[in-house]
């Protein structure tokens, strides 16, 4: 073999080592970046919940729970006493509206509608109607990041919208272990992350709003007893209590509301 041939062979061998090392490193990085931590719910306390409430949106403010309920002819906005489940205030949403997710921006409550393309605005203290905003597509979950509103529509995409008119500022594809995760439903924005429950599954996920990657998947199964599960619908509703860093979760037609922590 000539000297030039030996040099070429050595160069190729070195390149293969580098490429092989790069492939291993990037594969390991890719696995590390895509795998979500697995957590479960740890129940701190359980409270009564109106089993006639088809829960769509949930939030906590000043120790009071605000709840949006759905179904045409049964939709409502409520203020609820956490400890007793007592409905302190309620305003009904007339047909044909099917109410959905709920968030609070300043002193204004914003309630989505499923297929009506309308967001209903209320004064938090009086529940007086303050107008409406419109949007295209379905409305499922809603939470505020501070400067924008994050909104779900049952797909794997979140849209970030301007509070003043709900115009779309950007869209974000959500992935779990590298695959799109659809059926994103009720949302809660907490400390720079977005929590979402997944429709038809006892699953809550924590989403990085910059990348769309699910960083935690939280198993919320078996909160209700077999007897309590009879006649109820799916898990839905996430509210965060910053005072003790717990979450309040419930479901559609569930008889109980749970204060929980997400633990490994």
In a shared domain, residues 19 and 45:
no
**Structure tokens given for 170:** 């950007």
In a shared domain, residues 143 and 196:
yes
**Number of residues in the chain:** 264
**Structure tokens given for 219:** 């198993």
Residue 23 pLDDT greater than 60, yes or no: no
H or E segment at 202?
none
Average pLDDT, integer, range 72-79: 98
Structural domain span for residue 212:
36-263
In a shared domain, residues 95 and 30:
no
For the chain, the domain total comes to 2
In a shared domain, residues 46 and 30:
no
Q: Measure the CA dihedral 47/53/58/64, to 10°.
A: -50
This prediction has a pTM of 0.86
In a shared domain, residues 90 and 10:
no
Residue 32 pLDDT greater than 80, yes or no: no
What is the structure's pLDDT at 11? 41
C-alpha 91/C-alpha 235 separation (Å) is 23
In a shared domain, residues 17 and 90:
no
Average pLDDT, integer, range 194-207: 97
Domain of 44, CATH number, reads 2.130.10.10
pLDDT in tens, 82-98: 999 999 999 999 999 99
Which residue did the predictor score with more confidence, 250 or 7? 250
What are the φ/ψ torsions at residue 169 (nearest 5 degrees)?
Answer: -95, -40
In a shared domain, residues 127 and 103:
yes
C-alpha 145/C-alpha 151 separation (Å) is 11
In a shared domain, residues 30 and 111:
no
The distance from CA 158 to its chain's CA centroid, rounded to whole angstroms, is: 10
In a shared domain, residues 80 and 134:
yes
What is the structure's pLDDT at 34? 58
In a shared domain, residues 19 and 96:
no
In a shared domain, residues 190 and 153:
yes
What is the structure's pLDDT at 165? 96
The burial of 95, by beta-carbon neighbours within 10 Å (0-12 exposed, 13-18 middle, 19 or more buried), is given as: exposed
Closest CA relative to residue 58, chosen from 181, 141, 136, 176: 141
In a shared domain, residues 27 and 119:
no
Which segments of 93-233 does DSSP mark as H helices, in order? Answer: 226-229
Number of Cβ atoms within 10 Å of the Cβ of 6: 10
Average pLDDT, integer, range 119-133: 97
């Amino acid at each position: 073999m000539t000297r030039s041939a030996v040099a070429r062979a050595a160069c190729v061998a070195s390149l293969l080592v580098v490429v092989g090392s790069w492939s291993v490193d990037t594969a390991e990085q890719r696995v590390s970046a895509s795998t979500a931590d697995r957590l479960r719910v740890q129940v701190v306390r359980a409270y009564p919940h109106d089993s006639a409430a088809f829960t769509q949106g949930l939030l906590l403010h000043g120790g009071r729970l605000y709840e949006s309920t759905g179904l045409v002819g049964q939709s409502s906005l409520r203020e609820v006493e956490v400890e007793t489940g007592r409905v302190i205030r309620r305003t009904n949403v007339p047909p044909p509206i099917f109410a959905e997710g709920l968030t609070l921006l300043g002193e204004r409550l914003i309630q989505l509608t499923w297929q009506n393309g309308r967001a209903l605005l209320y004064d938090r203290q009086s529940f007086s109607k303050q107008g409406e905003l419109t949007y295209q597509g379905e409305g499922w979950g809603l939470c505020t990041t501070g400067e924008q509103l994050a909104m779900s529509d049952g797909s794997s995409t979140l849209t970030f919208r301007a509070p003043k008119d709900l115009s779309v500022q950007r869209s974000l594809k959500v992935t779990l272990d590298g695959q799109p995760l659809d059926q994103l439903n009720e949302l809660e924005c907490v400390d720079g992350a977005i929590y979402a429950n997944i429709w038809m599954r006892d699953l809550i996920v924590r989403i990085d709003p910059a990348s769309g990657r699910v960083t935690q998947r939280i198993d919320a199964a078996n909160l209700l007893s077999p007897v309590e599960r009879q006649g109820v619908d799916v898990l839905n509703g996430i509210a965060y209590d910053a005072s003790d860093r717990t979450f309040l979760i419930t479901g559609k037609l569930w008889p109980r509301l749970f204060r929980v922590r997400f633990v490994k």
